[in-house]
A and B are shown apart, each in its own frame.
Chain A
Amino acid sequence: MSLPTISRVPASGLLRSIRDLRWLLRSIAPLATPRRALTQMGYRRPGQPREDKPPWWRVKFDLSKGLKGMKRHFTLLKEEFFAQFIGPMGKPIIEHMLEQNQVLWEFRGPHSLQEWTISCDREIGGKSEIYLKVGRNNETCLLYGTLCSDPPKDGETRYSGYCTMRAKQPLASFDRKRYHDWSSFNTLHLRIRGDGRPWMINVIAETYYTHQKDDMYSYFLYTRGGPYWQDVKIPFSKFFLAHRGRVQDDQHELWLDKINAIGFTLGDKADGPFQLEIDFIGVCKDYAHTEDFAYEKYKRNPEV
């Protein structure tokens, strides 16, 4: 949503135009799946003009939205305050210590879609499409679309054709970042029904330095296809470190105490429609799995 170009308008006129736009915005379906607009102002497609708008123009001033937001934030704050008295992470300590399974995301109803963001290579000028909707009976979610690996003709991009779904960062009150803590688990468990395509699961952990921003721990998710559900168990020791899609040389295991998000990517170069149905995503503790890390850690200057 970009404001129309108003070059020199007095402040009252600006607010008036914003109020007019608000009525326009209301007519759009409220529960649409969130998409990333312009990759959150990080990537600018080659050839696109730069946006010279001051940053406050992007904020939409709305009283009812503000009041709803305040109510939500204070409710969350109250819940957090009283959760401390129940135990760590809001659960009794005996549950936190002993639990073997935890369901993180289960797709029951349209509200569960609000926690996910979908994106495809349309952002960089490609031709893929992706949609996310609730499955029939409100019991699963269906991620579907079309993949097209023709690279966009901008002279820079060489490969294209990807579709992703990524969980949003969990937020505490007042939009503070909250992290998943999976330190008592060691396996990721998914129940999915795919169409035979190989997907990639990415786990994004919290990092300290800014140049670690695009660090992702990835592993493959091979679907069998067919009408039967597939239970996939991936131990966290199998995830390898990649930065912007390039597998890194010095590998270390995924630290589970501060996880930001999880995501699914499709990038096999088979053009055509795809679909993936997810029932739930959970983590569990597999006592039989004792491996720390599946790959060798970094050795500088290996022999040729």
Chain B
Amino acid sequence: CFCCLRGNNNCAEPGCSVLRQFRCSPASAKSQPEHVRFVNDNDTKKTKSLVTQEDLFEQVAKESKTKATFNQVIDVFTKRDIRRRGHVEFIYAALKKMPEFGVERDLTVYNKLLDVFPKEVFVPRNFIQRMFNHYPRQQECGVQVLEQMESYGIMPNIETKVLLVQIFGEKSHPIRKYQRIMYWFPKFKHVNPFPIPQPLPEDAVDLAVLSLTRIANDLDAKTTVYQLPFTDITESGEEISFPHIVGIQSPNQMELLAKHNPNRPVFVEGPFPLWLKKTCVYYYILRADPTPPEEKEEEVYDPERCFYYPLQLDLDLDRDLGDEENFDVDDLDEGPVFAMCMTSRGDQTTLNQWISGLQQNNPILGRIPTLFRLDAGTRELEGVADTEAGHSHRPHPQSQREDGPPAEDPEVAVEEEKPRRSQGMKQ
């Protein structure tokens, strides 16, 4: 109850059965005191050498690094001394060791760590103490705990607030930092217009479907899994693993591909990087160069396609400078993108499989020459000026590639550049 949180040991409120130890929070009273190993307690008494607070963690780290062992270390420290001598250094050491033990995103561990501070000692009791930054080292330590929570994006909860109020009082720096976190975090939590589900799907095919729907920019786009990953044993006994191939294409892209001139080639380009939080996946695209202006034909709207409203209006609107809504830039024409795919191994054979899978829905692909431009490193889409007889050399700071002359096959012209680095999917 509130009165217990405020500090009354003997609570007169009916029904309140929480009993607090002196200068401890009710939270620790709830849990049973476990039997804690006193690690190396006898040894340290014999040898009088300088022992840092990190030693406790390092001793435990030799065995196993889990949340349970981390909590055990904190318990050892708290049970060791009622006055919690050296708690500031201990908390700094614990903050540093948290990523090793894998508990940096766990709010309960942070609350347990804040529990190490003795309660009510650092609360200022008169106006002079309030003026002069009471117990600055401890306040700075509390602020650092909250800062580590903030940098990992963990939202504190009511238990954190209660602990901070008990430890530092109400107008202290850690409480101000807590208030800042509680103000700004909810404001920026949903500010991403393309949110990524957390946790990411572990299955590679699901991840590929998620990322392809993300980059497709079209809600009508359909993903197709052309091949699931499997391993095959050949006659000689070797195991060959086949990668997954997931492709996406929208009806608009299918229309564009159907209208494509079969004399002009299409290009399979890749791999392009796509970052999802901390994972980088790679995708390949099928695109063509923009049609030169002489070959562009005007799309004639058939008025019978839609009877509800006219598809083409020829109005003479009186628009002046104040109604100009478009920017005065030239439109970039980079050529249509027909389909995208993701696969864990981006070599010639896999992408060929993708193209043949696409061919089932787009029969025109059988007649169009397909050129492969597979490259390693950071890339942007190839430009019109680069494609004449062959591929021109694009200066690249990390790797330099020479281009071979393309083969002019009517079916599938294969023109491959050997990737400099292996195309693994970086998970």
Contacts and interface: CB of A to CB of B under 8 A. Distances in A.
A associates with B: yes
B385 A103 contact: no
A282 B326 CA distance: 11
Contacts of A279: 329, 332
A165 B307 CA distance: 52
A163 to B, nearest CB: 13
B217 interface: yes
B322 A275 contact: no
Interface stretch (A43-51, A59-67, A74-82, A93-101): A93-101
Interface in A207-250: 220, 222, 224-229, 247, 249
Contacts, number: 128
A240 to B, nearest CB: 8
B325 to A, nearest CB: 6
B6 to A, nearest CB: 13
A123 B381 CA distance: 31
A101 B274 contact: no
Nearest to A273: B378
B327 interface: yes
A65 B211 CA distance: 52
A103 B324 CA distance: 13
Given A101-B324, A225-B214, A220 B188 contact: yes
Given A270-B275, A304-B175, A220 B380 contact: no
Contact of B275 (A95, A195, A228): A195
B305 interface: no
A153 B332 CA distance: 45
A293 interface: no
Main secondary structure of the interface of B (DSSP, over half): loop
Contacts of A108: 330
A195 B274 contact: yes
Contacts of B383: 135-137, 139
A304 B329 contact: no
Interface stretch (B50-58, B118-126, B277-285, B349-357): B277-285
A247 B215 contact: no
Contacts of B337: 227-228
Interface residues of A, number: 48
A87 to B, nearest CB: 13
B259 interface: no
B321 interface: yes
A140 B332 CA distance: 9
B340 A227 contact: yes
B87 interface: no
A227 B278 contact: no
Interface stretch (B190-198, B310-318, B360-368): B190-198
Contact of A137 (B191, B275, B280, B384): B384
A301 B287 CA distance: 59
A103 B192 contact: no
B181 to A, nearest CB: 10
B387 to A, nearest CB: 10
Contacts of A227: 215, 272, 285, 287, 337, 340, 381
Interface residues of B, number: 58
B55 to A, nearest CB: 21
B184 interface: yes
B263 interface: no
A50 B246 CA distance: 57
Interface string B129-172: 00000000000000000000001000000000100010000110
B426 A272 contact: yes
A62 B170 CA distance: 63
Given A224-B217, A249-B180, A304-B179, A282 B327 contact: yes
A137 B384 CA distance: 7
Interface string A103-146: 10010100000000000000000000001000111011010100
Nearest to B152: A269
B268 to A, nearest CB: 12
Contacts of A103: 327-329
Contacts of B377: 273
B214 A224 contact: yes
A95 B321 contact: yes
A275 B187 CA distance: 27
Contacts of B273: 195-196, 272-273, 275
Contacts of B179: 302, 304
Interface centre among B188, B276, B378 (most CB of A within 10 A): B378
B380 A135 contact: yes
> Which residue, A220, A275, A302, has most C-beta atoms of chain B within 10 A?
A275
A272 B276 CA distance: 12
Contacts of B161: 304
Interface string A139-169: 1101010000000000000010000000000
A224 B151 contact: no
Given A222-B192, A273-B273, A274-B275, A101 B217 contact: no
A280 interface: yes
B107 interface: no
Given A222-B193, A275-B380, A94 B217 contact: no
Contacts of B321: 94-95, 98-100
A122 to B, nearest CB: 15
A100 B385 contact: no
A226 B165 contact: no
Contacts of A277: 380
A255 interface: no
Nearest to B384: A137
B327 A225 contact: no
A212 B171 CA distance: 26
Given A101-B326, A272-B426, A275-B378, A225 B184 contact: no
22 contacts: A98-B322, A100-B321, A100-B324, A101-B327, A101-B328, A140-B380, A189-B327, A195-B272, A222-B191, A225-B215, A226-B283, A228-B337, A270-B275, A272-B275, A273-B273, A273-B280, A275-B379, A279-B332, A282-B327, A284-B325, A302-B179, A304-B175
A-B pairs, 7 with minimum CB distance: A226-B215, A136-B383, A196-B275, A98-B322, A225-B274, A137-B383, A270-B278
Given A220-B188, A304-B171, 5 more contacts: A139-B332, A222-B191, A227-B337, A228-B215, A272-B280
Interface of B: 151, 161, 165, 170-171, 175, 179-180, 184, 187-188, 191-194, 211, 214-217, 272-278, 280, 283, 285, 287, 320-330, 332, 337, 340, 377-386, 394, 397, 426
